[in-house]
Structure 1
Amino acid sequence: MTLHPQVAAALASMPAPPPGPLDAVAMRAAEEAHVPPLAERPSLHAVEDRDADGVPVRIYTPVEADTCGLLVYFHGGAFFLGSLETHDHVARNLAKETGLTVVSVGYRRAPEAAFPAGLQDCYAVVRWAAEHGDELGWDGGTLAIAGDSSGGTFVAAVAAMAHDDGFGAITHQVLFYPSLDLDFDEDRYPSLRENAVGYGMETAGLRPFNAFYLDSGADPADPLVSPIKRADLSGLPPALVVTAEHDPLRDEGELYGRRLQEAGVPATVSRYDGAGHGFVQHFSWIPEFARVHRETADFLRGR
């Protein structure tokens, strides 16, 4: 299937990136400038900014209820972009569709914070959420983790860390077009060549976009950096792995899902035809892609 025409039109209207090395500060400012006004975001019962043992979080309560399940969300952005604001609408949509209280994590980013600072923040908030379940209204049931792109990297890594630590509270993991192999050898996966050019995120841009993270000490051979390199995936939480047809990262996500299945982990791999990388953040308003929130909700409800 070809790239969805509305996505193709949006990409065609985007200006070419400026030449030279990436400027993290300028790129963050540009991203923040495109955040929609509050009135245009999905409304919920309550949204609150808090501090989770030193990590900024934003808590989304979809409806008034005594208790409900929890979902801890890690935003994407190649480990140096993204924020509570840029992904606010994603967290709101997840809360609204799943009915869970969503805790979005404002983790530390590269290059200012070296590896593994951001990952440690994400894991710490998951444990904080479990420890503060009473004040969050957690019903003691669902405690899911979810993330898009590099946030999906953190989901896989946090699930592994929790397993190795004997922390068994995580019930589900949801990975939206995750980055799971930071080796970036173009011959490693066919999708790196099939989707190299013309679909938004391009294969040639993967290395420079992730350079801030890798240069901060993240070793691509480390399974906490490249979760697909973890030898034993058994015992991890059930997973939903969402991929995009026209994404250079498509094949590593789908391979990870298959490896989970082979390790005895209940795992669903769902490819969105016509989609490119980042569609949950940028194009989930398109009807063909909006179902990703319903699919996530169905997975978390065990359907």
Structure 2
Amino acid sequence: MPLDPLAKRLLTMMAAASSADRKRPTPDERRQALAKLMQFARADVTDVMRADAMLRGPAGNIGYRLYAPPSPQHSAPAPGFVFFHGGGMVAGSIETHDRIAAALAQASGCRLVSVDYRLAPEHKFPAAVEDAIAATQFVLANAASLGVDPARLVVGGDSAGATLAAVVCQHALQNAWPDIAAQCLICPVLDFEETSPSREEFAENHLIDRVTLQADLTDYLPKDADLADPRISPLRALHVAGLPPAIIHTAEYDPMRDEGNAYARKLLAAGVTVEHICHEGMIHNFHAMGAVLPQARLVLSQIGEQIRRAVG
């Protein structure tokens, strides 16, 4: 299918506003650019309560924001959703992804915990992974006080946040944690060991380009990092049988399309239940641009329905 006309218009506007001589962005430039982009997120979620708090992580306190959709008074614990924001492990925060987290909480009916994990280059790999694991353990251990049913916990994220979600689920399986009800991976980044055809085809002028991806990777990883390490490239995990049921959303014009599609196939082949949709005509991060892309509103509602089914 051709590139969606509204997505194409957005990309054209972004290209016109950027420098013709594309240089490696600094971490601050990357953070400012993502914050500006996330202003296109839908802003019509009004009935979700928010509360900020801290949890103890491996290197100090980790901020998180708890989102609580309306529920009947004296109701049973709600399903939970541990959410990790995108941003290439360099950018993003609970603030940039506030609207997305609220929309997912509303659509899914989950009490959602959005995690402000450590970012690179100040905190290189595996800092973000360690924080993601610690935050999920915290939610499981403190489910009652969070109003969450630990037997109905979803772990998910978008873009690089989906990387962390996939890694947490793999870690949980390897370490015999209580079962996670589902994993939700939105436009996931899952493989840095090999360059896929979609990474080549959409390396320029498709929202996130080759220069930015390489800058993020350089900022995130130590020089001696093994790109085949499943904590960096979850697609490279050898054993995936027994992982939680997966909800995976990819986009046709996303450089990371092929790795997300490949992970869906890999999980299916291992006997994992998978609901996978590759959205025609869409670009990376399209789900977060509901102010300009109608499909973004639809996909968040769709994900909410999928999660409701997954957690009963």
> TM-score, with normalisation over the residues of structure 2?
0.89
- Cα drift, residue 106 of structure 1: 0.1
- Asked if the contact 2:169–2:244 (Cα under 8 Å) also holds between the matched residues in 1, the reply is yes
1:295 corresponds in structure 2 to 302
- Asked if the contact 1:147–1:174 (Cα under 8 Å) also holds between the matched residues in 2, the reply is yes
- Cα drift, residue 295 of structure 1: 2.2
Q: Which runs of 4+ in 1 moved over 3 A?
A: 17-21, 29-41, 215-218
- Asked if the contact 1:114–1:217 (Cα under 8 Å) also holds between the matched residues in 2, the reply is no
- For residues 251 and 44 of structure 1, do their structure 2 counterparts lie closer, same or farther at Cα, with a shift above 3 Å needed? same
Percent identical residues? 32
More deviation in 189-198 or 147-156? Answer: 189-198
- Cα drift, residue 4 of structure 1: 1.4
1:242-257 matches, within 5 Å, as 242-257=249-264
1:161 corresponds in structure 2 to 171
2:52 corresponds in structure 1 to 49
In the alignment, residue 51 of structure 2 is paired with which amino acid? E
Q: Which whole-Å CA distance do the structure 2 matches of 1:109 and 1:217 have between them?
A: 19
- Asked if the contact 2:40–2:291 (Cα under 8 Å) also holds between the matched residues in 1, the reply is no
2:135 corresponds in structure 1 to 125
- Cα drift, residue 217 of structure 1: 5.9
Per-residue displacement from partner, 1:190-216 (whole Å, max 9, x unpaired)? Answer: 212332333222345422232111237
Q: With a CA cutoff of 8 Å and minimum separation of 6, indicate the structure with the bigger relative contact order.
A: 2
- For residues 127 and 264 of structure 1, do their structure 2 counterparts lie closer, same or farther at Cα, with a shift above 3 Å needed? same
1:81 corresponds in structure 2 to 91
**Once superposed, what is the RMSD of the aligned Cα atoms?**
2.3
Q: Which whole-Å CA distance do the structure 1 matches of 2:287 and 2:214 have between them?
A: 22
- For residues 154 and 64 of structure 1, do their structure 2 counterparts lie closer, same or farther at Cα, with a shift above 3 Å needed? same
Q: Which whole-Å CA distance do the structure 2 matches of 1:27 and 1:148 have between them?
A: 17
Q: Which whole-Å CA distance do the structure 1 matches of 2:2 and 2:261 have between them?
A: 19
Q: Which whole-Å CA distance do the structure 2 matches of 1:32 and 1:126 have between them?
A: 25
- Cα drift, residue 155 of structure 1: 0.9
1:207 corresponds in structure 2 to 214
> TM-score, with normalisation over the residues of structure 1?
0.91
Q: Which whole-Å CA distance do the structure 1 matches of 2:181 and 2:259 have between them?
A: 23
- For residues 122 and 264 of structure 1, do their structure 2 counterparts lie closer, same or farther at Cα, with a shift above 3 Å needed? same
More deviation in 58-67 or 79-88? Answer: 58-67
Q: Which whole-Å CA distance do the structure 1 matches of 2:180 and 2:42 have between them?
A: 33
In the alignment, residue 160 of structure 1 is paired with which amino acid? Q
Secondary structure of the structure 2 residue equivalent to 1:2: coil
- Cα drift, residue 182 of structure 1: 1.3
| Structure 1: runs of 5 or more not aligned | none
- Asked if the contact 1:151–1:178 (Cα under 8 Å) also holds between the matched residues in 2, the reply is yes
- Cα drift, residue 30 of structure 1: 4.5
